[in-house]
Amino acid sequence: MPAHQAEFIEKDEIKLVGFSITESLNHVLESRIVGKLRETLAERKADIKHRKEAGIYLIQIYNQEGQWTHDTPFQHVVGFEVSALDEIPTDMTTFILPPGRFVRIVHHGAESEIGHTYDYINNTYGERPIDIEYWNDIYSLEQTDSQIDILIPAK
C-alpha cells in the first residue's frame, strides 16, 4: 500500500445536483446502493443542466449525536457539481457544500480497497462531520491505478 500524502487546499462553495439517501455503512456495502446511485446519475448526466465536470462527488455527512458505528445511518449525497441550481430533475436533490479549508488525501488503487485509506484517515485525523470523495471516472474505480480524492475538513 502506498504512503498517504496529505495536502491542505481551499475550496470554493460546491453546488451539487444528484441523489441523497440516509443509510448505514453496512447497508451501503451490502446493497451497493451508493454504487447504483452513481451509475444511475452517470446515465442521466444529460438531464442535469449547468454541469461543470465529468466527475461525481460523494458527500458523507455523519450524525454528530453519539458514537459512529458501521450500523449508524448517515447521509450520503451523490452528485455532479453544477454552476447553478435551477432546472433540477424532479427526482433529484441539491446540496451546497460551503467553502472551506480541507485536507486532501488521495486513495490509490481499487475502490474496494478504500477502507485502508479510511483507516489511515481515522487514525490520523479522528472524528469529523463530513467526508468528501471525488470520483473522476466511475468506470475505472476498480483498476489498480485508480485514484479517488478524499477531502476532510481541516482543523
Question: Domain spans of the chain?
Answer: 6-153
* Contact criterion met (CB below 8 Å) for 94 and 13: no
pLDDT digits (tens, 9 = 90+) for 66-116: 567 889 899 999 999 999 999 999 999 999 999 999 999 999 999 999 999
Rounded-to-integer distance, Cα 138 and Cα 136, Å: 7
CATH superfamily of 6-153: Regulatory factor, effector binding domain (3.20.80.10)
Strand partners, 133: 58, 150
pLDDT digits (tens, 9 = 90+) for 117-153: 999 999 999 889 999 999 998 888 888 888 999 999 9
Say whether 118 sits in a helix, a strand or coil: helix
> How confident is residue 1, by pLDDT bands cut at 50, 70 and 90?
very low
Q: What is the pTM of this model?
A: 0.92
